[in-house]
Amino acid sequence: MSVEELAPVDDIGSFKNKGTRPDVTATPEKPVFFKLKAQMLEQGRTNIPLCKTDNMWGVLKVYASGGENALHTHTKEDHMFVVMQGSARFYGPNGEERDVGAHEGVLLPAHAYYWFHATSEEPLVLLRIGCKAGEGDLSERLNIRGEPMPGGHPDNKPVKPVFKDGEYFE
């Protein structure tokens, strides 16, 4: 059986961007290339969208300190983190803890509760890959009580980013 028979072009769908990076557009026949580059931080955190299709997306995340500071789950998304620089401690809903260092990662299926924080003195850089795991609002996040908790929620302790001049991860 040919690749075309297994995954006809019409069934793959086209790359979509929905306003995150106007320079990232393609068809299935044209791959999207990206570079893992991000400005380092003195404080706060940033998300740099890298690429996106209808079913999968990649983001480079930088944390000066802290992390996802409140227990939550993504109900319509499987996702994974790969530590590119620094280290982090991930926590589960029942007291689970796991330290993750450079070139290690964690896979979080939809409905898996977690939170994490940076444990290294250097900024934490994470590659986050997400994919669709259900229908509906892909950005839906819930706290442990089942209440909506968007990324900018006060429980996540957002801090305005302060950039380090001329310092980049790449």
pLDDT, one tens digit for every residue, the chain (170 residues): 333 333 333 333 333 334 445 555 555 567 889 999 999 999 999 999 999 988 999 999 999 987 767 999 999 999 999 999 999 999 999 999 999 999 999 999 999 999 999 999 999 999 999 999 989 888 899 999 999 998 888 888 888 999 999 999 99
The tally of domains found in the chain comes to 1
Residue 103 falls inside a structural domain: yes
Domain containing residue 99: CATH number: 2.60.120.10
Residue 6 falls inside a structural domain: no
Residue 3 falls inside a structural domain: no
Residue 163 falls inside a structural domain: yes
Domain extent at residue 132:
12-169
Amino acid type, 116 = F
Residue 77 falls inside a structural domain: yes
Residue 4 falls inside a structural domain: no
pTM of this prediction?
0.81
Tell the burial category of 58 from Cβ atoms under 10 Å away from its Cβ (0-12, 13-18, 19+). Answer: middle
Q: Which two tokens stand for residue 123?
A: 């900024």
